[in-house]
Structure 1
Amino acid sequence: MPNVSTTTNQDQPTPTVRFAPSPNGLLHVGHVRSAVLNWRYAADLGGIFLLRIEDIDIGRARPEYEAAIFEDLAWLGIGWPAPVRRQSEHFADYEAALTELRKLDLLYPAFMSRSEAQAQVRKIESTGQSWPRDPDGAAHYPGDDRNLPSAERTRRIADGAPHAWRLDMKAALKGLGTTLLWDEHGEGPAGETGKIAADPAAWGDVALARRDFPASYHLAVTVDDAIQDITDVIRGQDLFAATSVHRLLQQLLGLPVPRYRHHSLVLDSTGRKLSKSDGAASIASLRDEGVTPADVMNRAGVADIRLGEPSA
């Protein structure tokens, strides 16, 4: 693993938060809510607000979208220190984490494609049997290749067989000997606050890397938060359940545990969260229409919200 702080957040005097958009589209009002809550929290507590570019999906990331992120945040009056951490420049950090998990014998190469795995699940469900699904609704990976002999795994990889590296969830949980918890200070989907018991098993054997994708969101965000000494993760309620996976990875890799604050989402007229893929109005388009930064913050519901007590 790369060098990271091993102190707990109580030992870190400076609150540090991050806003971490992906440059695969333009920012919308939902992004503004998260960015402003993070930025204002740091400002109130005399802390540090970091901008991170989550461009690990290099096939979809575009430099023009990264430039637009910088422009939109600056227009809103948000500043950040340089340099900006770009995931695409730190693949070695994620590979180091994967190496540690391999040493613990907690990863296995999964050779089934998504379509093959889905077909197998559909076949099982067609018989009337139920099949577990993760909190996002996706079926758990069947895991047929979890117990392949080492020689067979090596042969297939040497032959160039496409594969992902998946976490053996049962093995990972077996050696813990403790209940994983996190401190929640936000607005969980059901109003959860305080000590939250993580449930990583609900996610099954999560993929942590693919042959053409050096790290999953779960792995990259966990490693990045540790390297950047993030003390408080402030993000949307839609990532509340994913925190269970992140807590497990923190425990397995010996990484510090930040506090979490999951905030409510900005919804459209149908009650769905705003999304780039659904054509949510971009900040750039609103700016072109003459909407002011104050108006955008009002639309994001953050005109008067503060998460931290102002510093003296």
Structure 2
Amino acid sequence: MIRLHLDAADLRRITLAPAPNALFEAALSVRGLRTGTTAQGRARPAVDQWRRWVNGSLDERAGVLLDLVPPDGYLPDFLLQPSAGDFATAVDLAGRTPSELLVKDLRIADLPGLDGGPVAPSRWSRELAAGSAAARHTLMDDLRRYFTSSIAPLWPQVRTDATADRVLRAEMMLRGGVDALLTTLSLTWLWDPPTLHLPSRSSYDIPLCGRGLLLMPSWFATGPMIMYRPEESTVLAYPMHLPDAPAGPPEVLGPLLGRTRAAVLAGVRDPATTTALAQRVGVSLATASQHATVLRNAGLVRTTRIGIAVLHSLTPLGRALLDGEPPALLG
């Protein structure tokens, strides 16, 4: 368990990143292709479709990124560059990372062979750690090539999904303050003021020391990713909420529940506030609230109150109904 400790100054300095980080997403996508994992631990049509499109060509697409991106754990910090406004700037900053930071980042990432690792590192990774100009140029060229071939066609969708996620976070902040924002970042994270508990195989504490927290939505992240910056706010990347294609469309469940109520049930496949649910289904706030209440009373939806706002999500029974599982499994 990772524990982020926020004092009063930290709580005043929580900010939302204006957009996903293209360099970071590219690095995480390489990990996803290597391990076959999906964000938030469940299959999503968009991610699976993208993976099928690039499957079988990772080696030729990723180049030296395969030497930098471990199957799990931390990524080198220079592959994030949170201050960069676009991919080109991020690549330039990564290529100009001071040699002493490169060595530190590569060791933190457990690059094979460094610090007594079990496998000899590649010649290129040794040259990069030594500050070779040629190795830096190779890194920048391969980053650009991989992004152009593998991520650029997907990027408009990533930005659209990130915008929707940002709207959700802003709404929670407006309706319930910082407590609501931190409580709803992930269903598996625990906000127990003044500490945010994040699931991890490691156990350690990170005091933010009044420098705040930068929240960064990620399309490819499978869990929390942290970048500690001694003189700036700590970066916390979290898996953004992505819409799923309804497994049980209103046309199928409509005769049983009614078309609008079936649409409301499908609308909470991803957790949603009442306002967000109304927007997804295209009904009034009052109508969304009424149908959510009926579904909650039927055991298909659970509602969690956070301050003055509520968050609706599916119960196991509701998800089974949407997924069309056999009646025996629904009982």
TM-score by length of 2: 0.26
Indicate the structure whose relative CO is greater, using CA pairs within 8 Å and at least 6 residues apart: 1
Name the structure where helix makes up a greater proportion of residues: 2
Which has the greater radius of gyration?
2
